[in-house]
Structure 1
Amino acid sequence: MTPAQLRAYVAVVRLGSVKQAAAQLEVSESAVSLHIAQLRKEFGDQLFSRTAAGLAFTPGGLRLASRAAELLGLQDRTVLEVSAAGRGRRLLRVAASSLFAELAAPGLLELFAKRAADLDVELSVRNPASFETLLQTRAADIAIGPQSSALDPSIAAQPVMNYRLVIVVGPDHPLAGVRASAAQLREQTWLLGPSAATDLGAVQAMLRRLAVPDDRQQIFQSHAAAVTEAKRGKGIAPALSFAVAPDVRQGHLLLTPGPHATLEAVWHSLVLATGTPPAAAELSRFASTPRAIQAMIRGAGVSVGHFKPAVHVTLWS
């Protein structure tokens, strides 16, 4: 595993295309394909496959994307932090679950960053299981997403937003308008975003509750990509109710009725109980306000082309 291979893989994940990755890296498409083939051989994992809606990643492919980003991004992150400090700016590092980062974080962080002219906000997508470690090691200032059932005493948690996870299907799907049983849902092809590859969160809770087999699960590079495949009748997709509301109103998607097809959940903000940076403490308080919740809902539903997966770091300033 070489830096060149990791850079090629990161570019493919972020851009969703070998051609675009080659153009950005200023190398040939065959060179990028060779790097990907070498990684597949070394790890014994297909990493991803191509679909009409984009790239569908294996669990191993998602984990490699995250690790590759950490390795390659360490140098860039250090340069940013040193440069920001030299210019008298503060940096707030936010770790978020993939579901929150894709569908709620953009509106929240854009609004919050406007409150302080000297603040840069860095968002990284992380496995919720690592939130406590990230905070305790000062690798992140605040984490937002699902809360672990056994929280370390050094971590303080605050509810941010209640949300509902629903199951949607395309108008031509066999379950359209059907009050499906647990067994019927279990037998479907499940179209999933990156959150399905983690152990915590509403999507995993729904999959476990219904005992959905692994061979019925397809994981895509974003939750938006999974929902797009559901519109095409390729399967069923768990989705945030507020994120799919416009498509439901327009008839592009249908909600699957019944108690097995919905799940209520809560996002929490996590910070250190003591020694929390002031900006992190302020974001934790601000995130649960009506104005912040409205911003999160308005900012939902980014397209596949604009979603930045775990390998991307976004700065608001």
Structure 2
Amino acid sequence: MTPAQLRAFVAIVRTGTVKQAAAELELTEQAVSMHVAALRKSLGDQLFTRTHSGLAFTPGGLRLAARAVEILGLQDQTVSEVGAAAGGRRTIRLASSSLFAEHAASGLIDLFTKRANDLEVELSVQSPDQFASLLASRAVDVAIGPVPRDGQLADSGHLHNAKEFLSFDLEVLAAPTHPFAQRRASPEELARATWNLGPSAAGAHDAIPAMITQLGVPDDRQRIFQSDAAAWEETRRGTGLTLAPTFAVRSELQAGHLTRVSGPNNHRRNTWCAMTLAHDPTRTASELMRFIGTPKAVQAMLRGSGVPVKNFRPAVYVTLWN
């Protein structure tokens, strides 16, 4: 088996046809078919057959699909690590939920990278639903976000190490001039209110969308901003309600720019969790998994690492993946 053959097969699995796989790989259909024919001969398995409803994969073909993604991911990881080692650097790739990335990642990453001069971090904002597949394909080394739902990691077919490390409160907030700042709001009033929310509200299976669902807020009452900070700024003007982790808006509450809204279901306890592959994680990933639950790490996530803003130069590269 060659990487080219595996990439051709994975593209067919992903797109469903040889024609679309060829277009994705910028190859001819004949070239893709030749790669598949070589795989079939090498493995002694048809891998898939064509039917009126599309491609039907053999049990061996399905097993190869899962293994091929992992093999190609290991190849890409190895190339990246060799290149980094040649430059005297180590790189750890993190996937993070939007909520964690905006409010806690910078403190954690800054403190963690200070432990070694040769360490760099690549952070990508991802949907928690993609964590298992990203870890399985070795696209990332560690994923950080909400505690996975029952069976969410097991469904990927790989064993994972999951570590809960930080609990936080999510609350409903408003400007002091908002009517709900003066009195208790009913569930019906909360559902009819205008809500200013950050990008994590547009996802699924994260803290803010879960609370919005619990409050019964329909989509047409939600305004999604490019960040939680932008949503809070709009809320400070007195237009609408917002949701925020309590630790992230402590100064806003103390200054009286925002205030808590009383009412049913207006408070929710959440926990963040770090995940990596249980077998063969990178050395740096194992270091981060041990470090992330320490008191210093938790302090850095909640309040920052104490570095003056003018000196804040973490070795972090942020990439936004679709």
Listed as ranges, the matches of 1:151-162 within 5 Å are 151-152=153-154, 154-162=159-167
1:156 aligned counterpart, secondary structure: strand
* Alignment correspondent of 1:216: 221
* Alignment correspondent of 2:131: 131
2:239 aligned counterpart, secondary structure: coil
Cα contact 1:97–1:195 (8 A) shared by 2: yes
Stretch deviating more after TM superposition (227-236 or 179-188) = 179-188
Partner amino acid, structure 2, of 1:96: S
Change (3 A) 1:79 1:155: closer
In the alignment, structure 1 residue 294 sits paired with structure 2 residue 299: yes
Runs of 4+ in 1 over 4 A off after TM superposition: 77-83
* Alignment correspondent of 1:261: 266
Aligned residue among 305, 315, 319 for 1:313: 319
Aligned residue among 270, 279, 285 for 1:274: 279
Aligned residue among 230, 237, 260 for 1:232: 237
* Alignment correspondent of 2:85: 85
2:285 aligned counterpart, secondary structure: helix
5+ residue gaps, structure 2: 1-76, 306-311
5+ residue gaps, structure 1: 1-76, 301-305
* Alignment correspondent of 1:141: 141
Tell me how far apart the structure 2 counterparts of residues 228 and 129 of structure 1 sit (CA, whole Å): 29
Cα distance, 1:162 vs. partner? 0.2
Cα distance, 1:80 vs. partner? 7.7
Tell me how far apart the structure 1 counterparts of residues 133 and 260 of structure 2 sit (CA, whole Å): 37
* Alignment correspondent of 2:119: 119
2:147 aligned counterpart, secondary structure: coil
Deviations 1:169-195 (A, max 9, x none): 011111113222221111111111111
In the alignment, structure 1 residue 185 sits paired with structure 2 residue 200: no
- Taking CA–CA contacts closer than 8 Å with sequence separation of 6 or more, which of the two structures ends up with the larger relative contact order? 1
Partner amino acid, structure 1, of 2:224: I
Partner amino acid, structure 1, of 2:226: Q
Cα contact 1:96–1:126 (8 A) shared by 2: yes
Partner amino acid, structure 2, of 1:313: T
1:180 aligned counterpart, secondary structure: coil
In the alignment, structure 1 residue 174 sits paired with structure 2 residue 179: yes
Partner amino acid, structure 2, of 1:266: T
Cα distance, 1:82 vs. partner? 6.5
Partner amino acid, structure 1, of 2:230: A
Cα distance, 1:114 vs. partner? 0.6
2:123 aligned counterpart, secondary structure: strand
2:184 aligned counterpart, secondary structure: coil
Tell me how far apart the structure 1 counterparts of residues 106 and 272 of structure 2 sit (CA, whole Å): 15
1:148 aligned counterpart, secondary structure: coil
Change (3 A) 1:177 1:242: farther
Cα distance, 1:312 vs. partner? 4.1
Aligned length: 230
Stretch deviating more after TM superposition (288-297 or 92-101) = 288-297
2:169 aligned counterpart, secondary structure: strand
Cα contact 1:135–1:141 (8 A) shared by 2: yes
Cα distance, 1:260 vs. partner? 1.5
Change (3 A) 1:211 1:84: same
Q: So what's the TM-score if we normalise by structure 1?
A: 0.68
Two-structure CA RMSD over aligned residues (Å): 2.4
Tell me how far apart the structure 2 counterparts of residues 252 and 236 of structure 1 sit (CA, whole Å): 13
Cα contact 2:187–2:264 (8 A) shared by 1: no
Cα distance, 1:313 vs. partner? 2.9
* Alignment correspondent of 1:249: 254
Cα distance, 1:81 vs. partner? 6.3
Cα contact 2:165–2:271 (8 A) shared by 1: yes
Q: So what's the TM-score if we normalise by structure 2?
A: 0.67
Cα distance, 1:201 vs. partner? 1.0
